[in-house]
Amino acid sequence: MARTVIISETGGPEVLTLTDREVGEPGPGQIRIRHHAVGLNFIDVYQRTGLYKLDLPVPLGMEAAGVVEAVGEGVTHLKPGDRAAYAAVPPGAYSEARVMPAAQVCPLPDGISFEQAAAIMLKGLTVHYLFRRIVPLSAGDTVLFHAAAGGVGLIACQWAKSDGITLIATAGSDDKCALAAEHGAPHTINYRTEDFVARVKELTQGRGVDAVMDGVGKDTFEGSLQCLRPVGCMISFGNASGPVPPFDISRLAAMGSLLLTRQTIFSHISDYATCQKMAADLFDKVLTGAVVPRIGQTFPLEEIAEAHRALEGRRTTGATILTL
């Protein structure tokens, strides 16, 4: 048995229920992992509220780190006793232990703690695909990154700096802007007190940025498009402020033949070899010090509802970790 957070209906944080659940043995292609730390992400909120549909009842959580207890037939890259971490479907990371598919579970180097791993797997692999797998970005390019003081954003600030990419960071307070700057963003914009479109145009001498990376959604979508150079790329990867309304794609031509894409991490890591390579790249960034995970707050598993309230209320910085 393992304590596990499930939802039986969609709604507010109050629908999160901690219960004892049987774990069982891994089948072919599966492992059983005992968690030491679990990551909290906005996708968990989207699933809890019903924005992203799941069959109920269902456990939540997409990111964790721990020790492999057992492996099923056909699993060769992991063995009992191995340290491991993952960002993966199906959900179920909000638990002391679980059985899950092995393909997206990655061996964890000794130089990275369980807490650090739970802070970087989903967020860091998201940054990897944003900078490496969508449009060609290289040293000297300029990127606008929204919500740069969050878990994904602080990794993005450091990743961009290590790759020689200029990152313009937006955040909702002067303190959060300062945090983004501390993590490598050379330019910051407090979107509550500044017009981020005008400021981006000023910083780029009217040219616009090569790419916008936007996990905020509805509130920043229109302005983000206005920040792009001709044939620049708008990468939408989240809906923290709500989903983007229906959009007339002919406007992209009129605004400079812009590119627009809506991404999800799970498309990029669905292939075993690709996932393992992306994780190895991410671990290298951490082990070399190019990316230093920032854990802004921790909550015990039994306080999962309060953790969700803090995340939705934008009262968090960096990554949020659940302890077991």
Whether cis (ω within 30° of 0) applies to the bond prior to 57 is: yes
Burial of 39 (0-12, 13-18, 19+ CB in 10 A): buried
> How do the domains of the chain map onto residue ranges?
2-122+270-323, 135-262
Q: What is the pLDDT of residue 241?
A: 86
Q: What is the pLDDT of residue 239?
A: 86
Q: What is the pLDDT of residue 197?
A: 98
> Could you list the pLDDT tens digit for every one of the 324 residues in the chain?
999 999 999 999 999 999 999 999 999 999 999 999 999 999 999 999 999 999 999 999 999 999 999 999 999 999 999 999 999 999 999 999 999 999 999 999 999 999 999 999 999 999 999 999 999 999 999 999 999 999 999 999 999 999 999 999 999 999 999 999 999 999 999 999 999 999 999 999 999 999 999 999 999 999 999 999 999 999 999 888 888 999 999 999 999 999 999 999 999 999 999 999 999 999 999 999 999 999 999 999 999 999 999 999 989 988 999 999
Q: Is the CB of residue 156 less than 8 Å from the CB of residue 167?
A: yes
SS3 173: coil
**CATH fold of the domain at 135-262:** Rossmann fold (3.40.50)
Tokens 């894409």 label which residue?
Answer: 261
Q: What is the pLDDT of residue 242?
A: 87
Sort strands 63-71 and 97-101 into parallel, antiparallel or unpaired. Answer: unpaired
Tally helices (H) and strands (E) across the chain: 10, 16
Q: What is the pLDDT of residue 318?
A: 87
Q: What is the pLDDT of residue 314?
A: 86
Q: DSSP character for 55?
A: P
Q: What is the pLDDT of residue 209?
A: 98
Q: What is the pLDDT of residue 243?
A: 87
Closest C-alpha to 120, from 278, 262, 308, 303: 278
2-122+270-323 domain in CATH 3.90.180.10? yes
